[in-house]
A and B are shown apart, each in its own frame.
Chain A
Amino acid sequence: MSVVSTAHLQYGLGPRLAALARVVELGHGRLDPALLTDGGQLLLRAGDRLKLSAEHTVVALAGGTGSGKSSLFNAVSGLELSPIGVRRPTTARTHACVWGLDGAGPLLDWLQIQWRHRFARASALDKGESRLHGLILLDLPDHDSIRALTDPEADRLIQVADLVVWVLDPQKYADASVHRRYVAELTGHDAVTVFVLNQADRLTPEERAECVADLEDLLRREGVTVPRVVATSTTTGMGIDDLKAVLAESVAARRAAYQRLEADLDRLMARLTKEMPDVPRVDPTVDDVRRGGLTDALCDAVGVSALGEAMENVYGVRSADWVGWPFARWAAKLRPDPASSLRLGGVKDDIRELVGSSVSAQPAEVDNAVHALADGLAAGMPQVWRQGVLEAARSRSADLPGALTNELAEAAPPLNRVPAWWWLLKIWQYLLVVMFAAGLGWAGAVLAYGVFEVGRPPAAVLGDVGVLPWVGLMLLSVVGLGLLTGLASRNFVVLEAGKERERLELDMRRRVGGVAHDMVITPVEGELNRYNEFYGALGAARR
Chain B
Amino acid sequence: MKSAARKTPDHTPARSAAGAVTEESAIEEPGVQEFGVQEPGVQESAAEESAIEEQPENPGEQTAVFPAIGDGGPVPMRPVLPRPDLPPAPAPSPAPPEAERDRDVGGDGADGTDGDEITVGDEVASGEIAAGDEASEAETAGAETASTEATVGETADDETTAGDEVAAEDVASSGDAEAGRRVREMPLPEPVSEALTNALNQLRGAVKGLHFGLDVPGAQEARKAQSAVLAQLDDYVIPRVHMSTAPALVAVAGSTGAGKSTLVNTLAGQQVSRTGVRRPTTSIPVLVCHPDDRDWYATGDLLAGVTRLAEPAGDTASGSVVLVPAPRLPQGVALLDTPDIDSVVEEHHDVAHRMLDAADLWVFVTTAARYADAPSWGLLRRAKERGARLVIVLSRVPKRSREVIVKHFGRMLDEYGLGEVERFVINETAVGEGRLPEAEIAELRLWLAELSIDDERRTAAVQATLNGVLNSFRARLPALARHLETQVALRADLRSDVDAAFTGALTEIDEATRNGSLLRGEVLARWQDFAGSGDLMRTLQLRRGAKGHHHGPERMRALKGALRAGLESLIASAIQRAAEDVVARWRQRAGAGDRLAATPGLGRPADDVVRRTARTITAWQEHVTELIRTEGVTKRSVAKVVSFDADSLSLIFMVGLLGYGPTDVTAGDGKGALPQRMLRGLLGAESLRSISAKARSDLRARVGLLFDEETLRYVDALDSVGIPDEAAATRLYQATYNLEVAR
- Whether A35 is near chain B, meaning CB under 8 Å from some CB there, is no
Contact call A171/B92, Cβ cutoff below 8 A: no
The CA-CA distance from A20 to B658 in the complex, in Å, is 55
Contact of B573 among A64, A170, A355, A367 (CB under 8 A): A367
* Residue among B258, B537, B569 with most chain A CB within 10 A: B569
Contacts of B681 in A (CB 8 A): 342-344
Contact call B569/A362, Cβ cutoff below 8 A: yes
B649 to chain A: closest CB distance in Å? 13
B370-387 CB contacts (< 8 Å) to partner A: 370-375, 377
Using A89-B372, A347-B674 as known contacts, say yes or no to A342 and B638 having CB atoms under 8 A apart: yes
Contacts of A375 in B (CB 8 A): 604
Contact call A87/B525, Cβ cutoff below 8 A: no
Contacts of A367 in B (CB 8 A): 573, 576-577
- Whether B346 is near chain A, meaning CB under 8 Å from some CB there, is yes
B643 to chain A: closest CB distance in Å? 9
The CA-CA distance from A301 to B525 in the complex, in Å, is 11
Contacts of B91 in A (CB 8 A): 85-87
- Whether A151 is near chain B, meaning CB under 8 Å from some CB there, is yes
Contact of B522 among A169, A314, A362 (CB under 8 A): A362
A412 to chain B: closest CB distance in Å? 10
Contacts of A485 in B (CB 8 A): none
Contact call A365/B521, Cβ cutoff below 8 A: yes
A349 to chain B: closest residue by CB = B674
B57-115 CB contacts (< 8 Å) to partner A: 59-60, 90-93, 95-96, 98-99, 102-110, 113-114
Contact call A79/B98, Cβ cutoff below 8 A: yes
The CA-CA distance from A91 to B113 in the complex, in Å, is 11
B243-286 CB contacts (< 8 Å) to partner A: 255-258, 276-280
Task: Bits for B115-147, please: 1 = Cβ < 8 Å to A, else 0.
Answer: 001101100110011000000000000000000
Stretch of A9-17, A139-147, A436-444 lying at the B interface? A139-147
Contact of A338 among B108, B277, B541 (CB under 8 A): B541
Task: Bits for B612-653, please: 1 = Cβ < 8 Å to A, else 0.
Answer: 000000000000000000000000001001100000000000
Contacts of A112 in B (CB 8 A): none
Contact call B521/A301, Cβ cutoff below 8 A: yes
- Whether B476 is near chain A, meaning CB under 8 Å from some CB there, is no
Contact call A172/B257, Cβ cutoff below 8 A: yes
A342 to chain B: closest CB distance in Å? 4
Question: How many B residues touch A, CB cutoff 8 Å?
Answer: 109
How many A-B contacts are there with CB distance less than 8 Å? 329
Contact call A364/B374, Cβ cutoff below 8 A: no
- Whether A80 is near chain B, meaning CB under 8 Å from some CB there, is yes
B526-565 CB contacts (< 8 Å) to partner A: 526-529, 531-534, 536-537, 540-542, 544, 555, 558, 562, 565
The CA-CA distance from A198 to B43 in the complex, in Å, is 39
Contact of B279 among A88, A145, A214, A360 (CB under 8 A): A214
Contact call A368/B117, Cβ cutoff below 8 A: no
Using A368-B569, A368-B576 as known contacts, say yes or no to A313 and B533 having CB atoms under 8 A apart: yes
Contacts of A502 in B (CB 8 A): none
A452 to chain B: closest CB distance in Å? 40
The CA-CA distance from A339 to B541 in the complex, in Å, is 10
Contacts of B540 in A (CB 8 A): 338-339, 342
Contact call B512/A364, Cβ cutoff below 8 A: yes
A203 to chain B: closest residue by CB = B277
- Whether A519 is near chain B, meaning CB under 8 Å from some CB there, is no
Stretch of A176-184, A236-244, A525-533 lying at the B interface? A176-184
Contact call B373/A145, Cβ cutoff below 8 A: yes
The CA-CA distance from A218 to B570 in the complex, in Å, is 62
The CA-CA distance from A300 to B521 in the complex, in Å, is 7
Contacts of B121 in A (CB 8 A): 89-92, 141, 147
Apart from A90-B121, A354-B528, list 7 A-B contacts with CB within 8 A.
Answer: A83-B92, A88-B370, A89-B125, A144-B375, A317-B532, A317-B533, A364-B566
23 contacts between A and B (CB under 8 A): A66-B372, A80-B99, A87-B59, A92-B118, A101-B104, A147-B124, A171-B279, A171-B396, A173-B279, A174-B257, A175-B343, A175-B373, A176-B342, A211-B278, A309-B558, A313-B529, A314-B533, A317-B534, A342-B678, A342-B682, A357-B528, A364-B517, A365-B573
Q: Across chains A and B, which 9 residue pairs bring their CB atoms closest together, nearest first?
A: A66-B369, A303-B522, A118-B105, A116-B108, A310-B529, A174-B279, A88-B372, A306-B525, A362-B521
